[in-house]
Amino acid sequence: MKGKIALEEHWESPDFPATGSHNFTDDEYFSAVQTRLQEFEKRIEDMDRNGIQTSILSLTQPGIEGITDPDRAVKLAKQMNDHAAEFFVCKHPDRFKAFASVPLQDPEEAAKELERAVNELGFVGALVNGYSNIGDEHTAQYLDEPQVRPFWEKAAQLQVPVYLHPRIPLPHQQRIYEGYEGLLGSAWGFGFETATHAIRLMLSGLFDEYPDLTVILGHLGEGLPFTLPRVEHRLRHQRPETHGNHKKAPTEYLRNNFYLTTSGVFRTQALIDTLLEVGSDRILFSVDYPYETMEEISSWFDQCPISETDRYKIGTENAAKLFQFNQ
């Protein structure tokens, strides 16, 4: 399939090692990843070979969110966005778009930087790598917390989506991984951390306040198409004050305020479950390059047993509508 748009495609600048710790990862794999993060020629070749017309780029995780000093976060976010604009988007405007990095350690500044990135640099939204550290690596701010609302207000006003990308669980939550540290990252810990974060957003009432706000989740919604209906079912018996201020059922937000991408997943069974839970208008193709190969995700996607109508929607049409691209 030609003309695909991919949304969870990462980059890194030589000036800032955004990937943080990778203690558990195979060195050979990680070093190849890092090389790929920083260049764009092989990336375009890969895109050409795999029918990907457009990659929407984002600073790799934990990126700005892992910086404990708010001032440094503000400064670095701008610098990184400028770098992405200069070295990727401007060089190949027909192939690269970008999500802004935002310094959520200071939500007002995050809102300003989002506005600048969208209006001045032509970025198409923001990508947030989970919670933001503030002060130290043990302290985290989640996106549903009240002080973050100015950022969401700006996203709603600009009508741009926010991609909620995973990051590693907080240190004091790592006890359950003892002896299996390899599970902490994208293999397992990322998914639970991010799914919980997304549930917090739903329950917080954010989407009642901004009904048109759009959040994007990778990895087919971090399992939520399978797990969220049970959450909803069980919350019936929990006292209301223990699960936020939401006015609607969680699955209603999932269907109406979220898009789910195929990043890092090529499992037809899970895709069918997702299709039967949220419908094909809310699924988007993505790779998670360079952590994943375009070959694996694309060759699966191009042939997986869905209708050609849905393949075109998921591969191209939904993203083109969401971002108002001319296709």
CB closer to its own copies, 18 vs 254: 254
Query: Which residues between 24 and 53 bind its own copies (CB under 8 A)?
Result: 24-26, 29-30
Q: Which among 62, 284, 70 is positioned nearest to 193, based on CA atoms? A: 62
In the sheet that 52-59 helps form, which strands lie side by side, from edge to edge? Answer: 4-11, 52-59, 96-98
Q: According to CB under 8 A, which residues from 188 to 207 bind its own copies?
A: 188, 191-193, 196-197, 199-200, 203
CA distance 202 to 315: 26
Distances (CA, A) of 36 to 18, 155, 218, 289, 301: 14, 30, 20, 8, 22
Q: Which stretch binds its own copies (CB under 8 A): 19-27, 48-56, 84-92, 147-155?
A: 19-27
Residue 324 engages its own copies in binding (rule: CB under 8 A):
no
- Smallest distance, Å, CB 265 to its own copies? 6
Question: Which residues neighbour 223 within 8 Å (Cβ) at sequence distance 6 or greater?
Answer: 191, 195
Nearest approach in angstroms of CB 75 to its own copies is 28
322 near its own copies, judged by CB under 8 A = no
**Closest distance to its own copies from the beta carbon of 3 (Å):** 17
Q: Closer to its own copies by CB, 14 or 175: give it.
A: 175
Tokens of residue 37, six digits: 């993060």
Q: Which of 26, 288, 302, 310 is catalytic?
A: 288
Span interacting with its own copies, options 48-56, 69-77, 152-160, 184-192, rule CB under 8 A: 184-192
Q: Do the beta carbons of residue 159 and residue 119 sit within 8 Å?
A: no
Q: Binding of its own copies at residue 229 (CB under 8 A)?
A: yes
Inter-residue contact 112 to 105 (CB < 8 Å): no
Establish if 164 lies at the interface with its own copies (CB under 8 A). Answer: no
Query: Rounded to an integer, what distance in angstroms lies between the CA atom of residue 117 and that of residue 299?
Result: 33
Query: What residues have CB less than 8 Å from 272, skipping those under 6 apart?
Result: 306
Block residue for tokens 């990051």 = 167
Closer to its own copies by CB, 74 or 224: give it.
224
Supply 180's token pair.
Answer: 């299996």
Total of chain residues touching its own copies, rule CB under 8 A: 78
- Measured distance CA(114)–CA(120) in Å, rounded: 10
Q: What is the distance between the alpha carbons of residues 277 and 143, in angstroms, rounded to a whole number?
A: 25
288 is catalytic: yes
Q: Does 20 bind its own copies (CB under 8 A)?
A: no
State the minimum distance, in angstroms, from the CB of residue 232 to its own copies. 8
Q: Are residues 83 and 13 in contact, defined by beta-carbon separation less than 8 angstroms?
A: yes
Q: Which of 141, 227, 323, 325 binds its own copies (CB under 8 A)?
A: 227
Site for its own copies in 57-76 (CB under 8 A): none
Give the count of beta carbons closer than 10 Å to the beta carbon of residue 29: 11
Query: In the range 261-320, which residues lie near its own copies by CB under 8 A?
Result: 264-270, 272-273, 275-282, 304-310, 313
Contact region with its own copies (CB under 8 A), list: 52-60, 157-165, 182-190, 316-324: 182-190
Span near its own copies by CB under 8 A; candidates 66-74, 108-116, 150-158, 172-180: 172-180
Positions marked active-site: 288
